[in-house]
Amino acid sequence: MLNVHLVAHTHDDVGWLKTVDQYYYGTRNDIQHAGVQYILDSVISALLAEPTRRFIYVEMAFFCRWWHQQTNATQEAVRNLVRQGRLEFTNGGWVMNDEAATHYGAIVDQMTLGLRFLEDTFGKDGRPRVAWHIDPFGHSREQASLFAQMGFDGFFFGRLDYQDKLARKGRQEMELIWRASASLKPPTADLFTGVLPNMYNPPSNLCWDVLCTDKPVVDDPRSPEYNAKELVSYFLQLATAQGQYYRTNHTVMTMGSDFQYENANMWFKNLDKLIRLVNAQQKANGSRVHVLYSTPACYLRELNKANITWSVKEDDFFPYADGPHMFWTGYFSSRPALKRYERLSYNFLQTCNQLEALVGPAANTGPYGSGASAPLNEAVAVLQHHDAVSGTSKQHVADDYARQLAAGWEPCEVLVSNALAWLSRSKEAFSFCHSLNVSICPISQTSAHFQVTIYNPLGRKVDHMVRLPVREGSFLVKDPSGKAVPSEVVALPSYDTQEHSPELVFSASVPALGFSTYLVDRVPGRGPQARSLQDITQQKSPSHVLAIENEYLRATFDPDTGLLMKIGTTDQNLVLPVSQGFFWYNASTGDSVSSQVSGAYIFRPSRQEPFPVSRCAQTRLVKTALVQEVHQNFSAWCSQVVRLYPGRRHLELEWTVGPIPVGDGWGKEVISRFDTPLETRGYFYTDSNGREVLKRRRDYRPTWKLNQTEPVAGNYYPVNSRIYISDGQVQLTVVTDRSQGGSSLRDGSLELMVHRRLLVDDARGVEEPLLESGSGVWVRGRHLVLLDAVRGAAAGHRLLAEKELLAPQVVLAAGGGPAYHPEATRLTQFSGLTRELPPTVRLLTLARWGPGVLLLRLEHQFAVGEDSGRNLSSPVTVDLRGLFSTFTITGLTETTLAANQLRASASRLKWTPDTGFTSRPAPPALDPTSITLQPMEIRTFLASVHWKKNS
């Protein structure tokens, strides 16, 4: 008997063609007919009307809002449906997150937020057993690893590369075991994974929604519209054909699609009839097909009971193409300003969470008003949606995503101010300079005296270069102990008519999970430092070797072209010719081979070779004791500063691109490219969601024979935090400050797409070209370049990427504010830790969970084989006793990754891979004095705490 599991569902994008609120309330139906509140109203009514019906729901951003608007009676009815398993939550994150442009920390946070709501509202009845990513455009290995660590039994997705799908159907490998980590011992990161047969839509002719035009089931033989017999026969053929591609006598059909079930009765009435009519054929004609209302969890349990062995996959599902010349690799880079704003917001959210945890209730209510982390937590969660950070929404929706982030920052700024005042015992008028990336900060530009407080969210001390726009002149900077520290005022060379503020530069040392406060005074009467002899800004002269260097690195530039020519390390004696420049691909608008154009989703250049923005750069050199810079101007819309600070082992390339000119009628996709003589044999490496690193090979897929139709776009991969190339001895790594698309299209070369501006829509539903207006047209970002011997490279890029992600937060104040309470002595330096964490350990989460309870996640941030000669790939043990300076841990419970199950009692379905069964090790006994982390392991705890009094 073939069992056909009908899964009634709706796919509700948390923003896409309409904003989140427009979708929820059903406004702007002129854009798209969709109203989530009506969908949920209607589904609940239909479920209550007939006890055999079942339905699944996924997006908690919508469900949580709807739930809080219901009467007690409706809530009770819904609780009963959940208890009976008739309304089942699947996936359960705040959103269904993108998998290419998302960082793993933000994925964990948004899943935790949604699952927490379900746990609090429905207890274990509401806990989703199955992960469900039916719409994201390609699937990352790290996502599967995270789902496994969250305790999911399995994972279903909709979109699979068209060539991969064909091959898998032929081999009956549409369902498999995904081994999602090269470091965690199986089956820790093993996840049963199924590819749905029809993406996530109903089979053709079987869509019974108000949005569809298929004929309903007419089962009255007297009616001239009677079609029941024909429909049943069609369904039986369909089920049998589909069943051939799967290995058990169970198959699944998704009955629903985007924003469907606004009139749920229409769907369910027809499904009721279909089930009754098809099942009647068993007695009538000996049919071997049985149809039932089901859910992904129910279907998965049946697959598990089949007790067969499954093939194992170890790579990922990128890049995704839905046809020849149709690679969804453009969205890896679309809307780079929004991608950066999301990353900055994640950074600030961690600062906000940590200070709320360290200070306790005084952070929420204090001298600056009511502070809260929840609004920013929800806004950053919304941004993880697969049409948000991906850059694949309409322009007005992207604007609304930015609005939500900005609204979330405000209560966090109040919280951070309250916390800093409490910890420093001084009430200052704190000011957050949001426009430092364009050298604007009113307080530093207008005040003769101000203080700079730098908060460090890392578990180790950092030395951070502070750069603040000031008026010309000289300044005296004092550290927390009152000692003067070296500082410079650097005049920025200007290529345009716009005058740039000079910048005050000094190095600040900031303790782990803590702050340092520096005082800045303008020195009257002294001329501008920025014009002193060694700082002179000079034009290149042909005889002059243009170079910048510190104690570790030397970067040399071609005196004729002004382009980077060579990087050398002094401590390792490595020298690598590296040429770096900017190029642009001409975006295809369709051709004789394919009508596919380049757009928000799709990358398709009209030719393989990009055009140089310019073959040479106008350069100026700035050299001071604290920074050395080469300013390169490539064109009116493209420039870069190559920068080296003392004591740094990386070169910083700060690029500025935009507005990209499109007056010539050509859409452009701009890349930064590094060319070297390294013999890389077609291989390069990219990170997976900022965590483990995957080996890539040009024009190749590990699990099927690729027919490459797009030699550029078909070799692009998501780069969340780093990309590198190596010849086995020397490694060149570029760390990014946001998600971008990247590749190595020829040996020794590495490129990252920094910006794109396109004139035609790519026909994937947005119906709008990616032609940003407003602040998004002009983008500034940074690439951090490391040159290392391969054996030591991981230590460099792992720790640098961590510092980039969790950069210090700089807060200014005029200074001289009143004491927090009369007898308080001011603190100018503070650490939330009594001892630093070892370099292998990242404090992934420190956040308020409930009254007197904190959420704590510790992770080993090195993978197996990344030892770097420093033992960094070994297990590491942390003692939590007395680790935090502001509170004492009085109780500790270990949970799964999303903190919705106790680790000791969590169990997942067991599967047998064709590599042989591996039993799951018992969780280690919990000992707060000895928390051991294996490479790439994350451990999650709920800690009962007692805050110490502020003395």
Q: DSSP strand E in 636-748: where?
A: 638-644, 651-657, 668-675, 683-687, 693-697, 717-719, 722-726, 730-736, 740-743
Which H helix or E strand runs over 401?
Answer: helix 395-424
Q: DSSP assignment, residue 101?
A: S
Query: How many CB atoms sit inside 10 A of residue 634's CB?
Result: 22
| Residues 755/660, Cβ–Cβ less than 8 Å | yes
Burial class of residue 465, CB neighbours in 10 A (0-12, 13-18, 19+): middle
CA distance 215 to 207: 8
| Residues 77/67, Cβ–Cβ less than 8 Å | no
| Residues 889/288, Cβ–Cβ less than 8 Å | no
Of 486, 445, 433, the closest CA to residue 463 belongs to 486
List, in sequence order, every residue forming a beta bridge with 753; answer none if it has no partner. Answer: 671
Name residue 457's amino acid: P
List, in sequence order, every residue forming a beta bridge with 876; answer none if it has no partner. Answer: 933
Q: Between 104-122 and 60-67, two packed helices, what is the crossing angle to 10 degrees?
A: 30
Using CA atoms, how far residue 139 sits from 93, 321, 865, 909, in Å, is 16, 12, 25, 22
| Residues 645/550, Cβ–Cβ less than 8 Å | yes
Tell whether omega for the bond before 319 is within 30 degrees of 0, i.e. cis: yes
Both tokens assigned to 142: 């790290």
| Residues 216/208, Cβ–Cβ less than 8 Å | yes
CA count, 13 A, side-chain hemisphere, 538: 16
| Residues 119/895, Cβ–Cβ less than 8 Å | no
Both tokens assigned to 795: 């230590």
Which residue among the candidates 125, 135, 687, 747 is catalytic per the annotation?
135
Q: What are phi and psi of 357, to 5 degrees?
A: -75, -40
The angle at the Cα of 42, spanning 36 to 45, to the nearest 5 degrees, equals 145
Query: How many CB atoms sit inside 10 A of residue 896's CB?
Result: 20
CA distance 187 to 190: 5
CA distance 634 to 657: 10
Distant-in-sequence contacts of 901-908, Cβ < 8 A, 24+ apart: 901/127, 901/151, 903/940, 906/151, 908/148, 908/151, 908/152, 908/153
Q: Please report which residue ranges of 34-188 form alpha helices under DSSP H.
A: 36-49, 60-67, 72-83, 104-122, 141-149, 162-171
DSSP 558-612: -TTT--EEEEEETTTTEEEEEEEEEEEEEBP---SS------SS---BSSSSPEE
Q: Would the CA dihedral through 900, 904, 906, 911 be positive or negative? A: positive
CA distance 716 to 351: 33
Both tokens assigned to 299: 């279907």
List, in sequence order, every residue forming a beta bridge with 9; answer none if it has no partner. Answer: 56
Tell me if residue 135 is catalytic: yes
Of 262, 271, 385, the closest CA to residue 10 belongs to 262
Q: Please report which residue ranges of 818-933 form alpha helices under DSSP H.
A: none
CA distance 808 to 804: 9
CA distance 757 to 333: 11
Both tokens assigned to 305: 């009971």
CA distance 379 to 382: 5
| Residues 416/806, Cβ–Cβ less than 8 Å | no
So which residues are the catalytic ones? 135
